[in-house]
Amino acid sequence: MDFGSRPELRFLEDLGLQATNQGCYGGGEWRAGGKSVSSLSPASNQPIATVIEGSLEDYERSLKACESARESWMLTPAPKRGEIVRQIGDAFRKNLENLGRLISLEMGKILVEGIGEVQEVIDMCDFAVGLSRQLSGLILPSERPNHMMMEVWNPLGIVGVITAFNFPCAVLGWNACIALVCGNCVVWKGAPTTPLVSIATTKIIAGVLERNGLPGAIFTCICGGAEIGEAIAKDSRIPLVSFTGSSKVGQIVQCHVNSRFGKCLLELSGNNAIVVMDDADLSLAVRSVLFAAVGTAGQRCTTCRRLFVHQAIYKDFIEKLVTAYGQLKVGDPLKHDSLVGPLHSSQSKQAFEQGLEAIASQGGKFLTGGVGTTTSPGENYVTPSIVEISHDADVVKEELFGPLLYVFQFKTLDEAIAMNNSVPQGLSSSIFTKSHETIFKWIGPTGSDCGIVNVNIPTNGAEIGGAFGGEKATGGGREAGSDSWKQYMHRATCTINYGKTLPLAQGINFN
């Protein structure tokens, strides 16, 4: 396999990738003794390069090195840690387009989304740099004379990060940028099907550590399968595990981490809905639903999977939406005119097709796409589908990872809210309306039960400044902005007696 003879792959050399790559970076060196796997392009199912995965022995060696680097990084002043993260952001800026192209090549999302994912990491670095000078606790009044109370925030030590294929770079950035400025070493396992993105991302970060004379063990990357993820979940040396993936696997991870009294940050399944009221701006709503439903070929956790349209505008709105679907260009994600790329793997396509059959068997009526509309075998492209079905159907309660949109009618806002909240998941939701009364009910205590509650924007495309995450079967975790940093540190309530007597709280006299 020669990148030089394949012009479309030459950018991989600029990222430091080779035809065969070591898939474990631990203790500042690349060394892996696991099995060899091929990274496949979703657009063709053809191999891009080979990766030697890390073994459990590699994991143990890497964790020991990480432990040895932990204390020095914890004692590095937070603004100095922020300076390192600033340099990491600059390194990603230099590799913005090439890394974005690799994400499109290996994950399958269209090029603008691949580049946008790298930009998200850059934005997180900028956010974390500012945060490094604001990791502040409270000063609290004491009821005892000559006493002062304060909150002190200290690093956890090591943070484990397990990410999914659909955002093979950005979700690492959400966690690692914050974890690093908070004083933690990071141990990362990316998705087994996107190892090249994991390696390229790690090379960028490792280069910054090396140029600053810092231990490479501050950041560890191990490519591998479920056995590496299980090792991270069970490892008592890792106080916090951030896991992104399905609710089913998330429950297993949570059980392992909880059994050793660790902390878990879960970002799991979404079954997101958009509500379109009869006073909505229909043009804005159609464009938003289109992007929310088919962006990343429906493989975002924030993808819109359920659409509730007021009965007064239902027919007109659905006609406009079906027309918009007819204008979608499904094709090679690296071509600039493609709006929808392939599903990530042949297994993803098979699961999508089986899902369409289940929908048909439960009375679904396809308005676009449907069973038998996918492309030829050997490729992972599918036709974005719209289906009318009862909102009580079993398939509606589950997340089918692909460009599938269920559509329903409703009469009242209360009915729409009830349907929005009727599924096990609770990640993202959105409503389109011009009514202030409707808006404030939607975002209030009897409105949407999701962690992300939008108005007049899609369910996807979240900014990094706000905390990202959801409720119920979505796991309850929060990543990225706001005060999410507190999850990566532990709080110590400190009371200082600067007097010469020992008064006790609650007026207790122990003399």
- Provide DSSP, 37-91: EEEE-TTT--EEEEEEEPPHHHHHHHHHHHHHHHHHHHTS-HHHHHHHHHHHHHH
Q: What is the DSSP string of 236-295?
A: TT-SEEEEES-HHHHHHHHHHHHHTT-EEEEE----EEEEE-TTS-HHHHHHHHHHHHHG
Q: Residues 456-478: what's their mean pLDDT? A: 95
What pLDDT, in 10s, does the model give residues 378-397?
589 999 999 999 988 999 99
In this structure, are residues 331 and 300 in contact, taking their beta carbons and an 8 Å threshold?
no
d(Cα 361, Cα 369) in Å, to the nearest integer?
15
Looking at residue 370, its pLDDT comes to 86
pTM assigned to the model: 0.95
Q: DSSP letter at 462?
A: -
Looking at residue 171, its pLDDT comes to 97
| Angle CA 462–465–470, to nearest 5 | 50
In this structure, are residues 304 and 272 in contact, taking their beta carbons and an 8 Å threshold?
yes
Looking at residue 374, its pLDDT comes to 63
Question: Catalytic pick from 53, 117, 267, 399?
Answer: 267
Helices (H) and strands (E) in the chain, counts: 14, 23
Helices 195-211, 78-94: axis angle to 10 degrees equals 130
What pLDDT, in 10s, does the model give residues 229-277?
999 999 999 999 999 999 999 999 999 999 999 999 999 999 999 999 9
| Angle CA 367–347–400, to nearest 5 | 40
d(Cα 204, Cα 207) in Å, to the nearest integer?
5
Nearest Cα to 30, choosing from 203, 149, 169?
A: 203
**257 phi and psi, to 5 degrees?**
-70, -45
In this structure, are residues 185 and 158 in contact, taking their beta carbons and an 8 Å threshold?
yes
User: What b/e sequence results for 355-373 when a residue is b if at least 16 CB atoms lie within 10 Å of its CB, and e otherwise?
Assistant: bbebbbeeebebbbbbbee
Chain region(s) in the chain for CATH 3.40.309.10: 272-463
CA Rg value for the chain: 24
Q: Is pLDDT of 373 > 90?
A: no
Looking at residue 5, its pLDDT comes to 66
Confidence of residue 508 (pLDDT cuts 50, 70, 90): confident
The three-state secondary structure class of 116 is helix
What pLDDT, in 10s, does the model give residues 117-158?
999 999 999 999 999 999 999 999 999 999 999 999 999 999
* Mean pLDDT over each residue of the chain, to the nearest integer: 95
Looking at residue 4, its pLDDT comes to 62
What pLDDT, in 10s, does the model give residues 153-173?
999 999 999 999 999 999 999
Pair of tokens at residue 15: 């990222």
Q: Is pLDDT of 7 > 90?
A: no
479 catalytic per annotation:
no
Q: How far is CA 128 from the centre of its chain?
A: 17
d(Cα 405, Cα 368) in Å, to the nearest integer?
10
Q: Which amino acid is at 161?
A: V
Tell me the CATH number for domain 53-268+475-491. Answer: 3.40.605.10
Superfamily the domain 272-463 falls into: Aldehyde Dehydrogenase; Chain A, domain 2 (3.40.309.10)
What pLDDT, in 10s, does the model give residues 21-32?
999 999 999 999
Looking at residue 132, its pLDDT comes to 97
Q: Residues 199-208: what's their mean pLDDT? A: 98
Q: Is pLDDT of 9 > 90?
A: no
**341 phi and psi, to 5 degrees?**
-95, -165
Chain region(s) in the chain for CATH 3.40.605.10: 53-268+475-491
Q: Which amino acid is at 184?
A: N
pLDDT above 90 covers a percentage of the chain that reads 93
Looking at residue 410, its pLDDT comes to 98
